[in-house]
Structure 1
Amino acid sequence: MIINPNLYPAKKNGRSGYIDRTGKIIIDFEFDFFGSRDFSEGLASVMVRDKAGFIDESGNFIIEPKYEMALGFSEGLALVIYKGKYSYIDRNGNFIIQPNFYRCDSFKDGLAWVMDVVKLKSNFIDKTGKIKFSERYYLNSKYNEGLINCEEEGGWGFIDSSDRFIIPPIYKYARPFIENKAAVLLKNSSTRKATKKALYGFINKNNDIIIDPKFQGADIRFSEGLCAVWNNTYGYINQDGEIVIPYEFALGAHFNEGMAVIKPKGRNKKYGCIDTEGNITIEPIFTHIEDFKNGLSEVIIGDNYDNFHYGYINKQGEYIWEPTR
């Protein structure tokens, strides 16, 4: 998925358009809503009169709005909903896989997660729509770094693209691999006898425990060499499992462009950002903060949805697009 980092979705007077990183309007505010928001592979989905279509980076419709929903293009295909069913289209708007699914994800490395009916089990398909694996519990699975975390017979492990368990299903739960590490919950990790809380550790792709299980919770991924972990409050560990940013946050997210979204402890329910040293770089005054993208982050202010206002800040916390609806 090739994303244009220089176009940012913005809102003005209830309408949607795109700005650049200086706040200059690039695509006028003439759409009702965003679908994929970001431009990926040169196109973005937007909503007009409750229908989604795709525009190019000049704002011209390439695929006319006729879908109930549309996400961005990934590996040449876009996920859409048509007549209540999920499916995939090409850049000409042609159905490559007929609308037949209850839920789906975008393609990644030639595979996409799908669910055909409402049930606990699901599967992955290739770009021809062919089912690739034995049906297992895939609802919380992701295909990352060549492996899929999945459950079989009450245990979690990792399979490869040939449907073989590379890491056997011996864990109580396993998160996807990111930066060659995966957070796992050991079945016998209730080492705190008083609290009986199972603990997370980290493995590598050889199934070696590289960070001992000593965390009540762990973020889905390492990012920029750090990972948020939880022991009643959030802190951050390095790749050796050492706490390098103390447990002092009510919430800690992953790092992106040197910044991580946090929420302080206490009554303040607002969000701010820290740097990789743990210093507050963006004061916690926002209702929501997105990951930084090419130096900018979309933020929300307002106490409830009816008065949410959307703007953009730079890494100094300065507005380059004042919050508006």
Structure 2
Amino acid sequence: MSSACPPIRSAISTAFALLLVVCMAIGLVGCGTQDDDTGTRSPANTTDRVLFPVEQDGRWGYIDRTGQVVIEPTFERAWAFVDGRALVRESGRFGFVDSSGQVVVEPTYRDAWHFSNGLAPVQQDSLWGFIDRSGNLVVNPTFRLAPDVVEESRRSIAGGDGDLQRTAQNGRFGYRNASGDTVIAPRFDQAWYFRDGRARVKVDSLWGYIDRSGSMAIEPAFPRAWDFRNGLARVIRPSGERAYIDTTGATVWP
């Protein structure tokens, strides 16, 4: 490992300590096998300019909350902005862009992960290291651990944006409060955490969204759906069309 200032050493030590604990519990999972459909590459957008990745004609760009395209679809693949940088893929290699669409880290890495506290893990050959927001290599690639394990563990531990947690009974899902009392009866085929006041639930083979009272805020109509982030959620319609909807269910894009 190359030399690093104390805050960087602390961040790296914490990340890999968590990795070791999680790996012992659930085993390693390679980053390169993950896709946006799993949700693992799509944490909350933490930039001042909130943007959302979209696909048009096989290329990826970004829209704002109103559905306006602000970064033209030019990338082979694109993911959410985190710490002011978005992970993109071109010709099978990974790099990063800023919120203007400018490439700040050329797509030269075999794999990469989102920024956190100014650092992003990147893979060269089979080893992982860390770069800063300018693309400078801060920690030489010497690690074989995959950082998506950290993200999955964090998402699992962090849960949703409120005190309601999932509960299951006889194969059905509902929600309980911090005291352990059931507040939304287990009646869904599947359910996920609340985000932006909505939780996605599955009824039969379709996904919809409930509010915190358990009422259906957006009727189940989607074969695939993802959590709300910054007021929008990505869904796939029965036709196969990708779309973004707001918390009322109105289509924002396309």
Residue 254 of structure 1: how far off its partner (Å): 0.7
Residue 29 (structure 1) aligned with residue 64 (structure 2)? no
Higher fraction of strand = 1
Corresponding residue for residue 147 of structure 2: 105
Instruction: Rate the CA distance shift 1:282–1:25 in 2: closer, same or farther, 3 A.
Output: same
Residue 223 of structure 1: how far off its partner (Å): 4.0
1:200-243 superposed Cα distances (whole Å, 9 cap, x missing partner): xxxxxxxxxxxxxxxxxxxxx36412111001111111122111
Alignment of 1:57-72 (within 5 A): 57-72=99-114
Corresponding residue for residue 80 of structure 1: 122
Q: TM-score, normalised by structure 2?
A: 0.75
Instruction: Rate the CA distance shift 1:25–1:222 in 2: closer, same or farther, 3 A.
Output: closer
Give the conservation status (yes or no) of the 8 Å contact 2:86–2:114: yes
- Which of these residues, 198, 217, 221, is aligned with residue 281 of structure 1? 217
- Which of these residues, 229, 239, 261, is aligned with residue 200 of structure 2? 261
Amino acid across the alignment from 1:22:
T
Amino acid across the alignment from 2:76:
D
1:174-209 superposed Cα distances (whole Å, 9 cap, x missing partner): x84x5xxxxxxxxxxxxxxxxxxxxxxxxxxxxxxx
- Which of these residues, 55, 58, 64, is aligned with residue 14 of structure 1? 58
Taking the aligned partners of 2:58 and 2:137, their CA distance within structure 1 comes to 32
Residue 141 of structure 1: how far off its partner (Å): 5.7
Residue 312 (structure 1) aligned with residue 237 (structure 2)? no
Q: TM-score, normalised by structure 1?
A: 0.59
Give the conservation status (yes or no) of the 8 Å contact 1:3–1:38: no
What secondary structure is seen at the aligned counterpart in 2 of 1:80? strand
Residue 315 of structure 1: how far off its partner (Å): 1.3
Taking the aligned partners of 1:255 and 1:26, their CA distance within structure 2 comes to 28
Residue 229 (structure 1) aligned with residue 167 (structure 2)? yes
Which structure is richer in relative contact order (CA contacts within 8 A, separation 6 or more)? 2
Displaced runs of 4+ in structure 1, greater than 3 A?
A: none
What secondary structure is seen at the aligned counterpart in 2 of 1:92? coil
Taking the aligned partners of 2:153 and 2:189, their CA distance within structure 1 comes to 26
Higher fraction of helix = 2
Taking the aligned partners of 2:242 and 2:112, their CA distance within structure 1 comes to 22
Alignment of 1:125-136 (within 5 A): none
Number of aligned pairs? 209
What secondary structure is seen at the aligned counterpart in 1 of 2:114? strand
Q: Which runs of 5+ in 2 are unaligned?
A: 1-43
- Give the number of the structure whose alpha-carbon radius of gyration is greater: 1
Give the conservation status (yes or no) of the 8 Å contact 2:45–2:80: no
Q: Which runs of 5+ in 1 are unaligned?
A: 107-111, 115-139, 145-174, 179-220
Q: CA RMSD in A?
A: 2.5
